[in-house]
Every structure is written in C-alpha cells, then in structure tokens.
Amino acid sequence: MFGFQLLDSVQQSLDRICQLKKQPQPDDGIRRKLALLSEQDALYVLDQIYNSKTEIRTLNGFIVWIFYFLCQPLYSSASPSEAFQTSYYQSETVTHSPVLYHPGDHGPSHLEALGELEFRRQFLILSYAGGTKLKDVIEVEAIRRWKNLPMVNFETKVWHALGENNVGKADRRLYSDWDSQRTHHYYCYVSVDGSCKFKGPFLDKPRTLLQKWLDDDNVLEVKFTQGEGSSSLFDNNYGTYSKLMREGILVGLRRYGHFVYSVGGNKGKNKLKDPTSSPVKCYFVRMSSDAAIDMGKFYKLAGKTMHEGRSLLTHVHTGPSLANYMARLSLILSKTVTLEVNWSLVKVEFINEEYCLDESGNPIYVDGKARIHTDGTGFISEDLALLCPEIAHKGELINNEHIEGLDDPDDELEDNILEWKQPGTRTQELPLLMQFRLFYKGYAIKGTFLVNKLLPPNTLQIRPSMVKVEPDPKLSDPQTVNSLEIVGSRNKVDPSKLTKRTTLSRNLIALLYHGGVPKEYFIELLMKALEETRDVYSNKRAAFRVALRYGEIDDNSNVAKMISCGIPLEEPYVQYRLSALMNMENINLKKGKICIPESYYLMGTADPTGKLEKDEVCIILKDGQLSGKVLVYRNPGVHFGDIHVLKATYVKELESVVGNAKYGIFFSCKGPRSVADEMGGGDFDGDLYWISRNPQLLELFKPSEPWIEKSSTQKVHGKRPTELSNVDLEDELIKLFLKTRFEPSFTMSEAAQHWMVWMDKFLSLGDTSIDEKNELKAKILQLIDIYYEALDAPKKGFKVVVPKELKVKKFPHFMEKKPLDSYHSISILGSIYDKVDEYETEDRSLKEIQKLPLFEVDVPEGSLKEWKKLYQDYRNEMTSAMGAEDKQGQNQAANIVIRKYKEILYKAEEFEQSDMRHRQQIYNGALAIYHVCYDYAKSVRTETGAQDVKKCGFAWKVAGAALCQLHEDWSLKPGEKVFRVLPSVLKDIM
C-alpha cells in the first residue's frame, strides 16, 4: 500500500509507466504533487511521460521536469533545457506544484504578468473582470504598467479598464486607506457549473487566527450557490462541487484548497433567499503557487498536505469523529486579538476539576462521564491578565444568541464585531474573566480564564473540560502554533456594559409568568416603556436616552450628537431618525424586549474558594459584591425550572483571588450537580447569565424543579479521523461539508418555534384545564429535550429531528407568520404584542422640510457647484451599492461610498482628524452639502406626496461632524463654554 493515495485512474496510469520504464513508484512528495492536480491534468502529465522517448534516470525527477516543461510559457526566463537542469537533476529543491492551464483560461502570458503583482492587486483585477477571461478584455502590458502605481490609483485604473464593463458599481472597492493594516477579506462565489467569481478585497478590522497565521491573502472564503430548485445534496451540483473541492480553486497562478468550515447562527429557511447565503462558512487556503512574486518566499504550507497544514495549528485529527474534527478546527475562525506573551516564560499547568459528589463524597457519573462543577473555566495570573487589550464596543451589547435564545428562532445571528485598541495597551482595570482560545503544542483549548492574584507570574491553569483537542504524541513539529487568543466576537464585550439597560425576552417572560409573576406586572413595565417612546419627539432627555441606546446602530447619523450640539428636536431629519429608532424600539417591545430594573447579564465562573453552598452565588458588580436573594437564568433556557432562586453571598476570601476586578457571577462547587448545568446545560466557557434582584420578581416568582438531562441513546457512527488515510480523510471532510451546506438541519429552529406555540397555548389556559395543560406540558418537555440535544448535535455528529406529532400547523400572531398560518394569541406574549400595536406612535418621517435658521448663510458659489455635482455622483453610487446581492454586501458597499465623500470633504477619514488649517474650507463644504441636500429633499416627493426627509441623510452622514461643530459654535450664548462629556459617562448619567 502506498503512503499517499491517488485516484484509481491516475494510479493505473502510473503503474503502466513504472512497468514500461522499469522504474519504482515515485515517493510521497511526487504523489502529493500529482494529487494536487485535477484528474485531467494528472493524466495528461503521465501520458506525456508514457509517450516520451527521453531516457529516465529517476521517475521522481522526470515527473517534476515534465511539470515545468508543460508550463514553460509561464517561466519565460527558462528554456526547457534550463528547466531540466533545475528540476530534473535537482528535484529535491522544488517545494511547490505547478498548475496546468488549458485553452479557454485567462491565458499563460496574462497569468504570468498577473503573478508579478502584489496579490491584492491580482485579486482586484480578477474581481473586476467579473468572471471574464483576462485575455479577452485586457492587454498583458497594461497589467505590467500598473504594477507600481499607488493602490488608490491602481484601483481607479483597473476599475475603468475592467470593472465598469464587467461588474456592478456595488462591487467596486473604493478605499483610501489601502495601507492602513486593516484585514483584507477575499471572497470566491462558486456557481453550480463550477465557475468562480471573485469579490474583494474587503477591508475590515477583525482578524482570525487563520488569517494572522497565514496572512490575509492566503485565506479565501468560498461561497457555494444552492442552485435554483435544488434542495438535496444529491442534486447535480454535488458532483461539480466535490470535484472542485478535491482539485482546489485557481486564483491566478495560486491554487487554494479546502481547509476548514464553520457553522454559524441557526438561520430559518426563510432567511436563505440569497442562493449563496448560508450559516456555513467555508475557507480555502493557498497550497501552491507558480506566481513570480511568490517564488523564493517562505510559506508555511509549502509542500504540505492539508492534514499536515492543519496539524501545525492543532492536532485536530485526535478527536472522536469527523463532525468533532471540523467543529474544533473552526475555533481558528473566531475573530480574536492575540495576547502577546513570551512563550519561553509562560507556564501552562493542567489542574484537576472540581467534581460533583454524592452524599458519600464519591463522583457522580452520567453516561459514563463524571459531572463537574468547573466546566470550561481555569485561571490566569495577574500579570498576563493585565496584558488583555482594552475593548471599545461597536455593535449590540450582547449577541442575540445569548439575549434572545429561543425568543425569535428565525432571527439571523450576526457576529458582534468588537473594535480593539492597539495591542500592547494595558487595561484600565484588572479584568475578572476572559473568554479565550488557546493553541499550544498541538492542543486546542477554549473557555474562560478567571484572574488569580495568588498564581505566580506567567501562569495559565487549564482544566480537562477546557481541552477540546489533545496533542498527537506521534507528532512533534517545532512549527506548531502557540497562541493565546482573546475572543473578539459574539459575547465577549466590555463587562461594564453588561450591567446597563437589561431587557427581558419572550422565553424569560413565559417562564416568569409560569412561575407566578402576573400579567399585570409585565404590562406595567411595557406601558412605562411605551410612555417613554411618546415623549421622544418633544422631550430632549427622552430623545437623548433613545439616541444613546441605539448609538451604535445610528452611528452614521449620530442623532445623539445632533441633539447635544443644540439642534432642536423639531429639525426634520432629527424627527425622521427618532421615528426610525422608535420603530426599532417598538419592534423590540413586541418581541418582549422590555427593560427590567435591577437586572444584569454577567459572565459566569466557578467559586475558587470553596466557600459557597449549593444555593449560593457571589456576584460582583461595579461597587463590589451583592447580598440577598437573586433570580438567575441562562438563555436560551426553555425549561420551567431554568430560572433559579439563589442567595447572593459575600465571600471575603474571594478578594485575595480577584482583587478589585469586577463584573461576574460565581457559582458553588458543592452538591451533586452544577447549578449552571441545571439551567439547560450551562457551563463556564463564556456563557452569560441573567441576574435579577428586582424585589417584585423575587416576591412573586416560585421556582420549579430543574431540567434533568436524559441519558443519550445517540451513538457516533463512522470511523475516527485517525483511522482514515489522508486522502480518505479529505474525501470524508468534503462530503461532510457539502452535506452540512446543502442539507442543513433546522431542528433547533423548528423545536424552538413549536415550543413557543405549545407554550403559548399552555400559558393561555386557566387553572381549570388541568388535563389539557398536562397534555401540553408533556409536549413542551419533549421539545425541550430535543432542543437541548440539537444544540450539541453538530459537533457530536448526531442527527436530531422533531417528530411529526410535536409539530403545529398554526402559529400565534405575534410570531408574524402568514395570516392563514396564524391564530390570535390571548397569552401574555400575545397581549404584549397587541399593546405595542395599539400604542404605535405617529410616523414623524412624513414632514415638510425646514432648514435650520443658523445655517441660512451665504455659501461660496464654488462650493455649491462642486457639491451639486458630487451629490449627483453620490446618489448614483449609492443606488449601485444597494444593488449588492445581500444585506452584508449592501452595508459594506454603502459604508465605502460614505467614507469616500467624507474623505473628499475632510481630506481625512473623519472631521476630528482633519488639518485645522482647512477648517474654514471644510465648513464651507459642509454648508454647501447641507443646502444642496435639503433643497433636493424638498423637491422629491414620496408616494404619500410628502417631501422626502430621508434624502437629507447625506448631509448628516457625510458632513454631520462639521455641521454639529458649526451649530454648537454659533449657538453658544455670551459667557457660555462648551462642556465635554465622554459617551460612556453620558450613558451612566442618563
């Protein structure tokens, strides 16, 4: 048996050559190079060898020589004899596999010229070509002429030469900060016929470990089109896609191969309108290259198989199943910040778990696995914790996955991207808990670190539950990655923000109501929230609070800044934006997102002191530890017993461990079961817990018995990764990806929706309907088990389904299905929805437009003329931007357009960064934009006949900072001084 397996047809051809030429089989390195070619190319190479009359000294060297001889047009500096000298006799030095091209591709000379360019320039050319062959649309010398242009000029040249005729304006990448060190994201869209289109590069800030390790240009995100009418893995596109994944994707003279995929949020079927849209994200990486710019440069994956490349990150093949293999490898795709540590000094220690013990002091086992209190949490020394960079939040406070749970299972779960300050800056305060990913000597470890001041410097302590991948004792490679990654997406946020305005959810309301909290309590909270919305249009304090609340969402318009600089609430665009924000507020209220006093979301961990009893917790907020009874719950809890009543207890001994670090909840390590586990299988690898010390809730709520996990009857089928050859492993991973991509499981969303329906019916019944309630409760409990099992199914390789008898045909109206599929709910959730509907405020966007008196000044005619033209260009470009294929693409394209016009106005990215010497010119431009924009908005009518206030947006999105500064300066009364307040302080005050 050969070490590296080839396709049967290729092996048979190789056998014929060895027999005819009397040569031994080539070694694994050559076999690997053959495997990287398509089947057609590999057979073509071997046919040339079979028919060759040249005397063969070694088959290894001759195969390499044939590679280069066939590709000689790509190496214009080398004749066949020179290629023979460098490859046939010195084949050991060749570490890449050349790529063969056929007529109909871009053309060898075009690819040669392309390969001389920096990769992002290559990609931009291919992106703007839009799938058209380069040889048909551009001259070779044109590619070379642009080679050394500044990137901004290069993009302009390529756009006019290629982009204008081959792609839509939404696909133009207009950046002025190409060299700002922002992450470059490269996308490939694959059609059902196997053809590829490239889009990008897109510039952004977050970066994954995979991108940091290989560099951005060596990572390609690939999106596969579903195909019209196709719904099964076994449709025609399966064969095409599996072939492409085996052979790789050619990007110029580079070949990219399938490396890893991840499954994101659980999207409902109705979200998959875009044929390339999928929660499954697939990443290819560069495996080989014949581009001149890549020659002679070290590359981590050069000459390595995919298996060898993955093993440099983590020995993921040691896992129990293929599903586990990819689930664990996808840890490299978290958007993270690397904690810069000296690994020669860092001590990684493995410590024991705190086990759940029975009355006799013996560990308790379930399905052969010991229950533990410390699942997912370890320790970090103070000096290392202080290296954690400060976090500047940009997005919602907490990801929907943690706040909403099953509240609206059809909601898309978007990553909350966090913006990080420069690496190396120390935190203002010692962080209490850090969610992390650790890759160390083949290990993959995830969870949370609790700061421990008692540890010696440079120490990390890991528990077995945190280890997701064990190292392979047979592998020892000095190149293996050692990296401590602090999670910068999903639920890792500035802890101080987690204690601000906390809301309920439908799930939480349903469980609280079942526990005895009356309907009137929730309606009272709701009415208070609705009263606030009524004052927004006339009360500056109410308007400012709402603007701050949605500040991240309203970032471009920045209503809070407009209000704070003295612009009156009656200003048309302020009213329009407040109307939009209040519409968002009402949508949230309909979903049960009602503000609840004295409640918080905090990350959880285990008590390191051993002082807490089973029914006790320790909670640390801004001002220290709490005392007294609290309610504790973890989203997406759906069981009646998922809300616990616990006692917040002061623990003096904890201060010596965590010092003055703040924001977290500590659970007891005593008792037969972890309290976190009782809340729908919670753990401490980053889960957030809802805590409430609201006195009314504590008085009214009566807890139920906690959820008990049933023994699993599911078994993992198939071989372990270590039982497969490298070739078979790749084949199985490709099959697994395609099945995951094209036959996604919707069990979680289905279980969630049907749970909500049965729960709604259950909550609607009175106390006299005992038999009917018991019947409904039995169905609810079954769905709960199915949902919790489905949560872990992807990484365990299980298939979970919702039985037909648990599915419903009609849904409560608050779930907003089609009218024929709905019924009117009379439960607490239906009542909340109806109350908001009845209370809907008037639409303030339909308003006659009046300009601000302070801005009724003379504006230089030159500025007005310039911005009339630019505003026309903007409208055209924004129309094209909105033509992007998906919402993400639209947002990216729109932001690029807005950034372009900001830079034209400010000669910088933002007003604050502009040169003070140009301020008067900027003010003239801002006023010109204001008048041009508002005059146009007055001239445009909506369908209702009103002036289109929305068209005023350009002025505030682009020139808002300068306009606010002008208004502030001109509004100052004699003797009045500007009083600056940080946004974070304002949020505290408000």
Q: Collapsing DSSP states into helix, strand and coil, what is residue 189?
A: strand
Nearest to 800 by CA among 737, 713, 707: 713
**Average pLDDT score over residue span 726-743:** 89
Q: Are 664 and 604 in contact (CB under 8 A)?
A: yes
Give the pLDDT band (50/70/90) at residue 984. Answer: low
Vertex 389: Cα angle to 386 and 392 (nearest 5)? 135
Q: Which amino acid is at 165?
A: N
Q: Are residues 64 and 140 in the same domain?
A: no
For range 8-23, the mean pLDDT: 89
Residue 731 domain flag: no
Burial of 492 by CB count in 10 Å (0-12 exposed, 13-18 middle, 19+ buried)? buried
Element (H, E) at 287: strand 280-289
- Assess whether pLDDT exceeds 80 at residue 82: no
Torsion-angle region of 627 (φ positive above 0: left; ψ -120 to 50: alpha; else: beta): beta
Q: What was the pLDDT predicted at 390?
A: 57
| Same domain? 263 vs 136 | yes
CB contact set of 855 (below 8 Å; sequence gap of 6+): 927, 930, 931, 963, 966, 967
β-pair type (254-263, 280-289): antiparallel
On whether residue 207 sits in a domain, the answer given is yes
- Assess contact for 433 and 664: CB atoms under 8 A: yes
Asked if residue 74 lies in contact with residue 110, where contact means CB atoms within 8 angstroms, the answer is no
For the chain, the first-to-last Cα distance in angstroms comes to 73
Amino acid at position 181, single letter: Q
Q: Out of 41-50, 744-753, 764-773, 931-940, which region has the weakest mean confidence (pLDDT)?
A: 41-50
For residue 947, what is the DSSP state?
B
Please tell me whether residues 44 and 129 are part of one structural domain.
Answer: no
**942-to-207, 370, 937, 956, 967 alpha-carbon distances in Å:** 42, 65, 10, 20, 29
pLDDT at res. 958: 93
The dihedral formed by the CA atoms of 769, 772, 774 and 776, expressed in degrees to the nearest 10: -130
**The length of the chain, given as a count of residues:** 990
Interatomic CA distance for residues 965 and 967, integer angstroms? 6
**Based on the domain organization, do 875 and 953 belong to the same domain?**
yes
* Helix locations, 458-571, DSSP H: 506-514, 519-535, 540-549, 559-564
Same domain? For 266 and 338 the reply is no
Asked if the model's pLDDT at residue 852 lies above 50, the reply is: yes
Q: Residue 204 to residues 421, 464, 826, 851, 914: CA-CA distances in angstroms?
A: 14, 36, 46, 36, 22
Domain boundary residue, one of 494, 519, 540 = 494
Question: What is the pLDDT, as a whole number, of residue 79?
Answer: 34
Peptide bond into 518 cis (omega under 30): no
Q: Are residues 384 and 456 in the same domain?
A: yes
Domain end, chosen from 452, 475, 494, is at 494
**48 in a domain, yes or no?**
yes
Domain limit, last residue, from 61, 93, 125: 93
Q: Which letter, b or e, does each residue of 575-587 get, where b requires 16 or more Cβ atoms within 10 Å of its Cβ? A: bbbbbbbbeebbe
Quick check: 350 and 443 in contact, CB under 8 A?
no
Asked whether residue 356 falls in the same domain as residue 439, the answer is: yes
Based on the fold, state whether residues 45 and 158 are members of the same structural domain. no
Identify the CA nearest to 601 among candidates 494, 695, 513, 757.
Answer: 494
- The sign of the torsion formed by the CA atoms of 417, 423, 429, 435 equals positive
Rounded to 5°, the CA angle 921-926-930 comes to 150
E strand or H helix at 153:
helix 151-158
| pLDDT at residue 37, as a whole number | 72
The predicted pLDDT at position 909 comes to 82
Assigned domain for 185 exists:
yes
pLDDT for 321-345, tens place per residue? 998 999 999 999 998 899 999 999 9
Residues 281 and 340 in one domain: no
Query: Sorting pLDDT into bands at 50, 70 and 90, what band is 414?
Result: very low
pLDDT for 897: 87
CB 118 within 8 A of CB 148: no
The answer as to whether 197 is a domain residue is yes
Q: What is the 3-class SS of 824-864, one letter each residue?
A: CCCCHHHHHHHHHHHCCCCCCCCCCCCCCHHHCCCCCHHHH
The candidate with the shortest Cα–Cα distance to 220, out of 243, 179, 250, is 250
* Token pair listed for 362: 């013996």
Does the structure show a pLDDT above 90 at 31? no
For the ranges 93-102, 248-257, 384-393, 412-421, the lowest mean pLDDT is seen at 412-421
pLDDT confidence tier of residue 847, bands split at 50, 70 and 90:
low
CA gap 615, 139 in Å, rounded: 75
pLDDT at residue 590 above 90? yes
Q: Which of 80-89, 278-287, 694-703, 962-971 has the lowest mean pLDDT?
A: 80-89
Residue with tokens 């801005």: 855
Q: What are phi and psi of 985, to 5 degrees?
A: -70, -40
Unique residue bearing structure tokens 């490709």: 734
Q: What mean pLDDT do residues 657-671 have? A: 95
* C-beta of residue 6 within 8 angstroms of C-beta of residue 31: yes
Residue 42: predicted pLDDT = 81
User: Cα angle at 656 between 651 and 662, to 5 degrees?
Assistant: 70
Strands (E), 680-788: 688-692
Q: What is the pLDDT of residues 514-534, one digit of tens each?
A: 999 999 999 999 999 998 888
Q: Which pLDDT does position 267 carry in this prediction?
A: 45
Judge whether residue 208 has pLDDT over 90.
yes
Main-chain dihedrals φ then ψ at residue 362, nearest 5 degrees: -100, 145
Q: How many domains does the chain have?
A: 4
Pick the residue with more confidence: 748 or 99? 748
Residue 943 confidence (pLDDT): 78
Nearest to residue 618, comparing CAs of 673, 679, 675? 675
Residue 89: the pLDDT is: 33
Co-location of 117 and 14 in the same domain? no
Residue 666 lies in a domain: no
Of 700 and 985, the structure prediction assigns the larger pLDDT to 700
Q: Round to whole Å and give the CA distance between 640 and 763.
A: 12
Structure tokens at 216: 């951005």
What's the burial of 456, exposed, middle or buried (CB within 10 Å: 0-12/13-18/19+)? exposed
Distance CA 620, CA 648 (A): 10
Q: What pLDDT was estimated at residue 960?
A: 92
- Identify the domain containing residue 340 by its residue range: 333-364+374-397+416-494
pLDDT value at 48 more than 90: no
Is 539 or 658 the better-scoring residue by pLDDT?
Answer: 658
The pLDDT assigned to 184 comes to 96
Confidence category of residue 174, pLDDT binned at 50, 70, 90: confident
> What letter would DSSP give residue 493?
-
Q: 96 pLDDT exceeds 80?
A: no
Each residue of 779-793: b (16+ CB within 10 Å) or e? bbbbbbbbbbbbbeb
pLDDT digits (tens, 9 = 90+) for 862-920: 999 999 999 999 998 888 888 776 676 777 788 888 888 998 999 888 888 888 778 89
Provide the CB-side half-sphere exposure for 749 (13 A, CA).
17
Binned at pLDDT 50, 70 and 90, residue 118 comes out as: very high
* Cα–Cα nearest to 617, from 645, 642, 637, 596: 645
Whole-angstrom distance, CA of residue 75 vs CA of residue 81: 12
Q: What is the distance between the alpha carbons of residues 738 and 225, in angstroms, rounded to a whole number?
A: 11
CA dihedral (662, 665, 671, 676) in degrees, to 10, reads -150
How many C-beta neighbours within 10 Å does residue 104 have?
A: 8
* Candidate from 36-40, 366-370, 662-666, 855-859 with smallest mean pLDDT: 36-40
Give the residue-averaged pLDDT of 545-551. Answer: 79
Q: Does the pLDDT of residue 221 top 70, yes or no?
A: yes
765 phi/psi in degrees, rounded to 5:
-80, 145
Of 140 and 846, more confident: 140
Q: Which residue has the tokens 């009524």?
A: 534
Q: Is the dihedral of CA 143, 146, 148, 153 positive or negative?
A: negative
| Residue 983 banded pLDDT, cuts 50, 70, 90 | low
Percentage of residues in the chain having pLDDT higher than 90: 53
The CA-based angle 920-926-927, given to 5 degrees, is 95
Question: How far is Cα 386 from Cα 574, in angstroms, rounded to an integer?
Answer: 42
In this structure, what token pair is assigned to residue 902? Answer: 């900001």
| Stronger pLDDT, 655 or 233, i.e. the higher one | 655
Structural domain contains residue 905? yes
Task: Assess contact for 811 and 817: CB atoms under 8 A.
Answer: yes
Count Cα atoms within 13 angstroms, Cβ side, for 182: 14
Q: Are 200 and 267 members of one domain?
A: yes
- C-alpha 703/C-alpha 644 separation (Å) is 6
pLDDT, tens only, 270-325: 343 456 677 889 999 999 898 999 998 999 998 888 999 999 999 999 999 998 99
Do 236 and 194 belong together in one domain?
A: yes
Residue with tokens 């890759």: 439
Structural domain includes residue 607: no
Please name the residues in contact with 50: beta carbons below 8 A apart, sequence gap of 6 or more.
Answer: 13, 16, 17, 20
